[in-house]
Structures are given as structure tokens and as C-alpha cells.
A = this chain, B = another copy of it.
Amino acid sequence: MAGSSYGKLFQITTWGESHGRALGVVIDGCPSGLPLSEDDIQAFLDRRKPGRTKISTPRKEDDKVEILSGVFEGRTTGTPISLIVTNTSQRSTDYGEIANYYRPGHADYTFDQKYGFRDYRGGGRSSGRETIGRVAAGAIASKLLSTLGIRLTAYTRSIGPITIDEKNFDVQAILDTPTCMPDRKASEKAEAYLADCMKSFDSAGGIIECKIEGCPAGIGEPVFDKLDAELSKAIMSIGAVKAVEIGDGTQTALHRGSENNDAFRMQDGRVTKATNHAGGILGGISDGSAILLRAYVKPTPSIFSKQQTVNKQGEDIEITIKGRHDPVIVPRAVVVVESMAAIALLDAMLVNMGARVENLHKIYGK
């Protein structure tokens, strides 16, 4: 309720500050019997690790995860899974001076307004490091979904003005390129664009796209807890995301009904849609086609050019931010988007289990 928990039945609670002793997450409500190891989770965490390339912060963060509870003899027990990552590479001295002023584009001012003071070291709780817990939980949700034939694929769609070309789509490139773009040519252009940003002490934004394939029809609740509403909250809760869209999203505002409606057609004896402008969700409920969503990410607020701000004494000042910061958040946020989508979908699937009386009979019938 105080906002560090997400989910109704698959409920995750993240904790930890950028420069505290550790960060972690507790996952309550993970069904029992899922094979799970630290390697499963580490693989996801490694996708958000910095320091992999010249376009990310030179900070070294090992981010080794430990499972403290909820797994026994290699399988989830149904009880809370506690995951922890110990902080090792925090140089608090870099952050000492930001205690006294408010960085533009950051949460320094709003935290002070809300709580009266803040843990200013590295952004404290508002740091991107908070997403460690999300990604660790997302690894578990994704693994469980995969046993049901559901696959999530997130990637960078654009960085600044550079957008992927669907014709060059190459899944492997998502993991290979430093931009997490599924288009190697676009990725090279984006790297050049970022190099230019860095030269001018500036940063860039971009778009992350996530595709969910294999989701059965019928998931999502019809009114406030529509599947698209839940996904929107989950994705918008990621720091730096400023817009979310489903399917054709913003473009639908320009469409006419005749071009936006997806015709239903029979194919191989099953109901399908001839097109998918809706992005796999109708009336808040999955329709069996691929779910498509996009997150618009703002440029990194930590830039190295001079900026105007105020200090705690209420004086106008000019600052230059120091430290180690990514020139773009997008590539490292790709796995965060994928994780939040997986968590939101799994949670909706658990909630939906009791939608029909016949489902109760399937589980409890004699």
C-alpha cells in the first residue's frame, strides 16, 4: 500500500537504496513446484548490468543474487522467495554534495517534500538500482510463464531519432548489441548518436517495445483491472517512463474505425484476427493474439553540462553533476520492461483462475 509492493496474488515487494547495504525483493504467492536456481535469476540480472559497453556507466556492479528462502530441493515451495543483492561498488563520496541541492529531472526535491528529508546517496530509493528487485522477480515470472508456452520479448525500438527497421529484425541482436536493438544496423547508428550526445555532455531517450506471444484469451478483468490498465501501471512505474501504449496506441487517435477494427476470421478451426491494431487486448481482456506494448523513456536526467537549480537554502545556483551515468537509460531498462510485463501478466492469470465456476470444479472437484 505504501507503494513498494506490486501484484495481487503474485506479489513482489522491493526494498533497498542505491548505496545501502543491500537491495532485494520478496516474492509472495509464487506457485509451488517451479524449478528455480540462482542462475535463472542471475541471467536476467546480467541483462541490466552496467559496464558492458562504452555507452553505459563505467560503474562496476556485480549484482550477485542470493536466494534466502522459498526454494527447497531446487523447487519453489509456495512460500515467500527472498532475494538479496549486496551492494559492493558504491562510492558515496561522489554524492555528498547533492545532499544540498535538487538535481533537475530527479526525485530529490519531491522526496524532500514528501518525507521531510531523504537518503541522498546515489538517489537512495529513487535510484535505478531499485529495479534489481523487479528484474529478479521478473525472471521467476518469466520462467513460470514459459512453462505455459508464453514468451516475452522486449527490445529497444528507438534511441533518440534512430528507429529499428522491422525488415532487419534479428532476435539475437537484442542480446548482442549494446543498445538491445533487434537490428544491428540501427544499433550502430544509435551508438554513433549516443557518442555524439556524450561529446556534448548530454543524454538521449528512446522507446522500448515488448511483445507477449502465447497468452491465452480471457486474461484481464473487465473494468478497472483491465489487462492493459495493469500493464500500463506496471510499466509507468518504471522510473523515466513517460508514456505507455498498447497495440497501435497513440496512432489510433488518428485512425478511422474502419481501419482500426480488427476483423475476426476462422483459421484452422480457431478464431483469429486478420490484423492486430488492438495489440492483443479487447475490452481489457486478452484476445489470444500477440500482446504489444511500448514504453517511452525520457533521456537520462544526469547530464554533465551546467544546469540551473536551487539549493536547500532557497538560493538559485548553477551545478555540474559528477559521477558515472549512462547517456541513455533505454538498453538497461529493456529487461525491466520485460520483467514488469511478465509479473503483471502472471498476476492477472492467477486472478483469472476463479473466473468460472467450472474452474473451481477443475481444481476442487472430486
CA gap between A85 and B10 in the complex, in Å: 25
Tell whether A53 is near chain B: CB-to-CB under 8 Å: no
A229 close to B224 (CB less than 8 A): no
Q: A interface, how many residues as a size bin? A: 35 or more
A11 at the interface (CB under 8 A from B): yes
Q: Please name all residues of chain B whose beta carbon is closer than 8 Å to the beta carbon of A20 when the two chains form the complex.
A: 68-69
A8-B8, A130-B223, A364-B148 as given contacts; A32 in contact with B355, CB under 8 Å: yes
Residues of B within 8 A of A261 (CB): 104-105, 301, 303, 307
Known: A115-B356, A257-B299. A229 touches B221 (CB 8 A): no
Interchain CB contact under 8 A, A117 and B75: yes
Cα(A68)–Cα(B82), bound, Å: 13
Give the docked Cα–Cα distance between A109 and B270 (Å).
Answer: 12
One digit per residue, 1 when the CB lies within 8 angstroms of any chain B CB and 0 when it does not, for chain A 62-82 equals 000010111011011111111
Check A228–B236 contact: CB distance below 8 A.
Answer: yes
Contact B351 A359, beta carbon cutoff 8 Å: no
Report the bound CA distance from A4 to B6 in whole Å. 14
| Contact indicator A258/B161 (Cβ below 8 Å) | no
Residues on the B chain within 8 Å of A202, using CB = 256-258
Q: Are B308 and A264 closer than 8 Å at their CB atoms?
A: yes
Stretch at the interface among A40-48, A168-176, A182-190, A280-288: A280-288
Given B70, B247, B254, B263, which contacts A160 in the complex, CB threshold below 8 Å? B254
Closest to A101 in B: B264
Q: How far is the CB of A276 from chain B (nearest CB, A)?
A: 12
Query: Can you list 8 A-B contacts (CB < 8 A)?
Result: A1-B8, A2-B10, A2-B29, A13-B13, A110-B286, A202-B256, A226-B236, A353-B360
10 nearest A-B pairs in the assembled complex, by CB-CB distance? A107-B283, A3-B221, A2-B29, A3-B225, A243-B245, A203-B257, A110-B285, A233-B233, A15-B80, A229-B237
